[in-house]
Amino acid sequence: MTMHAIDPAITRETSARIAQDRATVIARNAASSCGIRAAAHNPQAASLASTTFDVQLKQGDITNQKRSGRCWMFASLNTMRYRIIKKLGIKTFELSQAYPLFWDKYERANWFFENIIATANQDLAGREVSFLLADPLCDGGQWDMFRSLVKKYGVCPKEAMPETANSSNTRDLDKYLTRYLRACAKKLREAVTAGQTTEELQATKNEMLSDVYRALVICLGEPPASFDVRIRDEKGELKASGTYTPQEFFREYVDMDLDSYISIINAPTPDKPYYRSYTVKYLGNVAEDGGVRYVNLPIESLKRVAVAQMRDGLPVWFGSDVDQGFDSERGLLDPASIDVDALFGLPIEAGLNKGDRLQYGESLMTHAMTLQGVSLDAAGEPTSWRIENSWGEDHGHEGYDIGSAAWFDEYVYQVVVDKKYLTPEELTAFESDPIELAPWDPMGSLA
């Protein structure tokens, strides 16, 4: 293919037009002085964002994931601690986020080793092996992966396994363990080539897992096998006490049927028909619990089930592309809040619809949070959403964000709800044999 150079005449003509275009000159002055988002900020959108909602759940103190990618864990634990707060009648409570982080890294190392062994005869430069090696120990995850961790390991209060420097800032932990895992991958592939038996490979893998466990203990501390519990309310009254294992604590105080909660996605792309179940190749963590499963439904279904669960007094885990249309300073998620199309005079945001953005690499799920409230119009349709984030109380509206109806439609990709809120048709679709998506499919992205 012959490549063509830029015609200098185009540059000269464009430059001449800009000099005569008052709107472009004003936009240039604003954007170059204060940045694109500040110049494109739409104050009217912020003024229309109400902080009161028709359905509003009361949660404890805002949590903070700090410099880690554990939003999916924080969002999941926030839905669980809500049940504890409500059950015990206390003002706030926090579950340990370091505890599932430890077990996720450990389980994900095993998941990685198993997949490396399974693909050992594939070309090292092949797309699947390259994908496995790219980021085997990242912080991100999915609801189904968290459910697998809790089913196996339970949960514990934050006091039983508090944060460390490495849980609050996971960069070096991920960096050095990932380097070790890649060295292990080389050793495992060479062992397969050398003809090691299944038993010999598993023995080699177990030695590697022992090393990973030790490294995690160094960075995060050792997870408690049991712990003492003393929980008091703001008046000092003892509401819970005893000695529990993490599994016992989950059963007693969270009391949640994990298998009843399922993932619903909205991916309006031609390759993913609605009312079908999907899974993603190589996506998971706990080997014996399998991978993930979604049902793809129209966005109206996601809104309906989310509202229904909140009306019944329970928050909703959801995944979105958080940076799109995000006025972070004001805690507002609304495509109208940052009007870059007006600033540049170009269809930057309007040029692609939701399905196009997924297919062309412009958008995917990047962050998980919890829905804690919703405002409804006269017809019962959502007009705005109250969103609990995990970026500390100094963010947004004392830790909460407000999402517009348009933002939900365009940038929310997943909600997790009790399957009882699905229609018979939707539930049948979820329970059908899942279609396997490629590992790099956008719906395999990790929050």
Tokens linked to 338: 């940052």
Strands (E), 41-126: 55-56
Instruction: Look up 71 and say whether it is catalytic.
Output: yes
> CA-to-CA distance for 410 and 113, rounded, in angstroms?
37
Task: Decide: 166 and 173 in contact? Cβ < 8 Å.
Answer: yes
Which residue shows structure tokens 């092996």? 129
Active site residue 285: no
Question: Measuring CA to CA, which residue among 69, 433, 109 is closest to residue 276?
Answer: 433
Catalytic residue among 41, 71, 110, 266: 71
Task: Answer whether 57's CB lies under 8 Å from 292's CB.
Answer: no
41 included as an active-site residue: no
Catalytic residue among 41, 78, 285, 367: 367
Alpha carbon distance 79, 85 (integer Å): 10
Question: For the residues of 76-95, what is the DSSP string, one character each?
Answer: HHHHHHHHHHHHHT-S---B
Amino acid identity of residue 317, one-letter, is W
Nearest 5°: CA angle at 162, between 156 and 166? 125
Chain position carrying tokens 């005869």: 121
64, 110, 296, 389: which is the annotated catalytic residue? 389
Containing 8, the helix (H) or strand (E) segment is helix 8-20
In sequence order, what are the residues at sequence separation of 6 or more whose Cβ sits closer than 8 angstroms to the Cβ of residue 117?
188, 192, 201, 205
User: Among all residues, which ones are annotated catalytic?
Assistant: 71, 367, 389
